[in-house]
Structure 1
Amino acid sequence: MSQDEILIRASEPEDVPDLTEVLNQPRAVWGTMQLPFTSVATRRERFKVTSASQTMLVAVIDGKVIGSLGLGRLEGRRGHVGTFGMAVHDAYAGRGAGTALMAAAVEQADRWLGIRRLELTVWTDNIRAIALYERFGFEREGLMRDYAWRDGAYADAIAMARLRP
């Protein structure tokens, strides 16, 4: 799929049903800290309390939201730091939506928010995501053993970060 066929835009309240579908996909939820089987009603409530300091992006193909990325800025002495999480619908994985979302988030962080450091946490076995982040200049900073409970077992994660060039 061509990057030209993927629209990246701000998330809107009417996107919540599609976002819920994305985040309830087995592989998509596996790669996040989200819980499976979250209802549309629960996600609508979460959407209402999204902070003004967060940038919520969606990837759209043929009018359907197939991916999302939330970019937030920390406060106080870590106000130069942004963090994010993302997910792509299982049926659209590997077609460029993650790359398009990352490109938009990095541009937003670098050119509009003045974020110096972008950081993330990724499961050690999420090879595709790690490769994507490395293409955008993220470097591995450390291993976090038994970071969180996932799919019936504790899973390790990698701390990664990118400093604005």
Structure 2
Amino acid sequence: MSEASPAVTLRAIRIDDAAGLAEMHSQPRFRWGTLRPRYPSVDTVRKWLETRSPDDPYIVAELDGRIIGDAVLNLGKGRRAHTASIGMGVHDDFAGRGIGTALMAALIDTADNWLDLRRLELTVWTDNAPAQALYRKFGFVEEGVLRAYAYRDGAYVDALAMARLRGIG
């Protein structure tokens, strides 16, 4: 399937993934790289899964029944229907093993070959070099720095706005 491992499965998210997602989202490195709050409860994650937009493609990476990564395309609406913003993360125990690459490849395939999206966008911390390298590998380029974008580890941190355009200039 990918560089990750032949045993890794990518599939659509399910409501019964709440416990696995809560566990993964509680990991220190996972949280450090995202805007997610600390210690999400299984009930909070389940409620979020029950009320999220069913139109947004949301996938998980699974290994031996364990959630080890997740990724979503948050689809634009109206005059931004040609766009999607990306959110993704990998479980701390599986970072650097190709899971992010497999998830991003699946999102790009969905965006390009199923939804005809023309602009994919994301934000990434300016000090998260591994994530930036992954995004650049898939054609994302920096569009600007968002100063004091969010509060993390007791300080305000900057983020890069990155995007990938397809078929438009």
TM-score class, shorter: over 0.9
Contact 1:124 1:157 in 2 (8 A): yes
Which stretches in structure 2 are left out of the alignment for 5+ residues? none
Cα distance in 2 between the residues matched to 1:3 and 1:104:
15
**Alignment partner for residue 83 of structure 2, among 81, 84, 90?**
81
Q: Find the partner of 1:94 among 90, 93, 96.
A: 96
Match of 2:156 in 1: 154
- Which amino acid in 1 is paired with 2:145? L
Shift of 1:53: 1.9
CA distance in 2, matches of 1:57, 1:2: 15
Amino acid at match of 1:11: I
| CA-to-aligned-CA distance 1:12-31 (integer Å, 9 cap, x gap) | 11111111111110000110
Distance in 2, matches of 1:94 and 1:14, equals 27
Deviation at 1:3, TM superposition (A): 3.8
Distance in 2 between residues matched to 1:155 and 1:97, nearest whole Å: 26
Between the aligned partners of 1:164 and 1:40, the Cα distance in structure 2 is 38
Instruction: Report what 2:40 is aligned to.
Output: 38
Identity %: 50
Q: Within 5 Å, which residues of 2 pair with 1:2-151?
A: 2-151=4-153
Alpha carbons 2:149, 2:156 under 8 Å: kept? yes
Letter in 2 for 1:82: A
Question: TM-score, with normalisation over the residues of structure 2?
Answer: 0.94
- Structure 2: distance between partners of 1:86 and 1:126: 13
Amino acid in the other structure paired with 2:108: V
Aligned residues: 165
TM-score (norm. length: structure 1): 0.96
**Dislocated runs of 4+, deviation >6 Å:** none
Q: Which runs of 5+ in 1 are unaligned?
A: none
